[in-house]
């Protein structure tokens, strides 16, 4: 980062940002890419670029854009989200067409389907290539666009043993995070066609996301993308923790549900706040997910030994 060659990115003159955008576009098989400060901004730019005011976006009821983006879709783009329970399943995809609005004068117009792979709030679960392809085919049939919230697209790709670009073939735009498991301190990527990115770049400036000598951050993004294979180890660590936790009394953990680097643990008796407080005071950080669910995430700064220690510590806390 300290050696990064920089320039004014608002003028397109930051060579490190330009390199990152080119590399990122190539990795997801899209024509162009845009470096954005956060994944939320990337998703919102996609919604703003794909949709007109008063239009509708179908998403899973667990979607990040629905729960964790401050109702921005309504606030910034004037669109309505239509969250569907279990969209990310064969059954959900099978009945998806029922929720696409008919072209009637008194209904909003469906414009976009937003998928999330992996689906954070469901515990980092994966949708497979066939499922992505079905949604994309349906979207084409109805003249809709597909945006992929791929904050953890590489986790999905490793879990499916495919390349990220095989998944992103089935979307018009994709956002992925350089932060999170890839380990960069800041930044996300939005990718799509040249026309889409040209318009998204205008919207990024509108939202105050045009950053000047931002090559220092893009440099970290290039390092993050150079080798993503450590994500596979994160999956092993999450599975290892799940197996340890599944044996403990007072909690419910399903090791088979752990597909990537996220693990959900349901507390049967201990209040969530108490568990999080006690674990934090002993050096183990986890987050809440709903009222009785603890969310653990494994990443490159946590070793397998750390995971073993975490499992033992949780056992002690639950006694
Ligand atoms: C983290 C995340 C984002 C983007 O979050 P930011 O904190 O805004 O970078 C978007 N979608 C999912 C699924 C995420 O986990």
CATH number for the domain including 236? Answer: 3.90.1150.10
Number of domains in the chain: 2
Name the residue with the closest Cα to ligand 1, atom 14: 151
Residues 195, 260 share a domain:
no
Using the mean position of ligand 1's atoms as its centre, give its distance from the Cα of residue 318 in Å. 31
For 115: left if phi > 0, alpha if psi spans -120 to 50, otherwise beta; the answer is beta
Contact criterion met (CB below 8 Å) for 156 and 129: no
Contact criterion met (CB below 8 Å) for 88 and 114: no
Quick one: angle between helices 304-318 and 230-246, nearest 10? 20
Is 39 a pocket residue for ligand 1 (Cβ < 6 Å)? Answer: yes
Question: What is the torsion angle, in degrees rounded to the nearest 10, for the CA atoms of residue 113, residue 115, residue 120 and residue 125?
Answer: 140
Question: What is the torsion angle, in degrees rounded to the nearest 10, for the CA atoms of residue 194, residue 195, residue 201 and residue 206?
Answer: 180
Is 168 a pocket residue for ligand 1 (Cβ < 6 Å)? Answer: no
Contact criterion met (CB below 8 Å) for 112 and 50: yes
Is 149 a pocket residue for ligand 1 (Cβ < 6 Å)? Answer: yes
Mutation test residue for ligand 1: of 177, 262, 297, the one with most atoms within 8 Å of CB: 177
Whole-angstrom distance, CA of residue 266 vs CA of residue 272: 9
Is 261 a pocket residue for ligand 1 (Cβ < 6 Å)? Answer: no
pLDDT at residue 293 in the model: 97
Residues 219, 266 share a domain:
no
pLDDT at residue 114 in the model: 98
pLDDT in tens, 255-312: 999 999 999 999 999 999 999 999 999 999 999 998 999 999 999 999 999 999 999 9
pLDDT at residue 252 in the model: 98
Using the mean position of ligand 1's atoms as its centre, give its distance from the Cα of residue 150 in Å. 9
Residues 139, 27 share a domain:
yes
Using the mean position of ligand 1's atoms as its centre, give its distance from the Cα of residue 38 in Å. 7
Mutation test residue for ligand 1: of 36, 37, 40, the one with most atoms within 8 Å of CB: 40
Using the mean position of ligand 1's atoms as its centre, give its distance from the Cα of residue 121 in Å. 11
Is 151 a pocket residue for ligand 1 (Cβ < 6 Å)? Answer: yes
Residue 77 burial (CB count, 10 A)? 22
Residues 25, 99 share a domain:
yes
Using the mean position of ligand 1's atoms as its centre, give its distance from the Cα of residue 227 in Å. 21
Residues 97, 14 share a domain:
yes
Residues 180, 212 share a domain:
yes
Intervals of the chain under pLDDT 50: none
Using the mean position of ligand 1's atoms as its centre, give its distance from the Cα of residue 297 in Å. 14
Residues 66, 174 share a domain:
yes
Is 119 a pocket residue for ligand 1 (Cβ < 6 Å)? Answer: no
DSSP-assigned letters across all residues of 205-238: HHTT---SSTHHHHHHHHHHHH--THHHHHHHHH
CA 277 to chain centre: 27
Whole-angstrom distance, CA of residue 31 vs CA of residue 81: 28
Residues 76, 184 share a domain:
yes
pLDDT at residue 195 in the model: 98
* 63 CA: nearest ligand 1 atom: 13
Which structural domain range is residue 284 located in? 231-318
Is 38 a pocket residue for ligand 1 (Cβ < 6 Å)? Answer: yes
Asked, for residue 1, whether it belongs to a domain, the answer is no
pLDDT at residue 276 in the model: 98
């Amino acid at each position: 980062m300290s050696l990064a060659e920089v320039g004014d990115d608002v003028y397109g003159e930051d060579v490190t940002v330009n390199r990152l955008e080119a590399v990122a576009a190539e990795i997801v098989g899209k024509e162009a890419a845009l470096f954005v400060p956060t994944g939320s901004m990337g998703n919102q730019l996609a919604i703003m670029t794909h949709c007109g005011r008063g239009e509708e976006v179908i998403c899973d009821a667990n979607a990040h854009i629905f729960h964790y983006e401050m109702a921005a879709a309504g606030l910034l783009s004037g669109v309505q989200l239509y969250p569907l329970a279990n969209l990310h399943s064969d059954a959900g995809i099978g009945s998806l067409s029922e929720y696409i609005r008919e072209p009637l004068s008194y209904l909003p117009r469906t414009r976009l389907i937003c998928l999330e792979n992996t689906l954070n709030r469901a515990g980092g679960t994966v949708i497979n290539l066939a499922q992505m392809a079905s949604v994309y085919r349906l979207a084409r049939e109805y003249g809709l666009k597909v945006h992929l919230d791929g904050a953890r697209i590489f986790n999905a790709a490793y879990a499916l043993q495919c390349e990220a670009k095989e998944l992103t073939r089935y979307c018009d735009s994709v956002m992925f995070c350089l932060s999170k498991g890839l380990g960069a301190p800041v930044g996300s990527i939005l990718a799509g066609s040249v026309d889409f990115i040209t318009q998204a770049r205008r919207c990024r400036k509108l939202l105050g996301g045009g950053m000047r000598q931002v090559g220092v951050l893009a440099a970290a993004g290039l390092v993050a993308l150079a080798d993503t294979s450590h994500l596979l180890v994160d999956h092993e660590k999450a599975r290892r923790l799940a197996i340890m936790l599944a044996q403990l009394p007072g909690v419910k953990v399903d090791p088979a549900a752990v597909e990537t680097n996220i693990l959900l643990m349901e507390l049967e008796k201990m209040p969530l706040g108490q568990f999080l407080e006690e674990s934090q005071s002993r050096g183990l950080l986890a987050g809440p997910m709903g009222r009785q669910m603890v969310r653990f995430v494994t990443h490159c700064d946590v070793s397998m030994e750390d995971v073993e220690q975490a499992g033992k510590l949780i056992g002690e806390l639950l006694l």
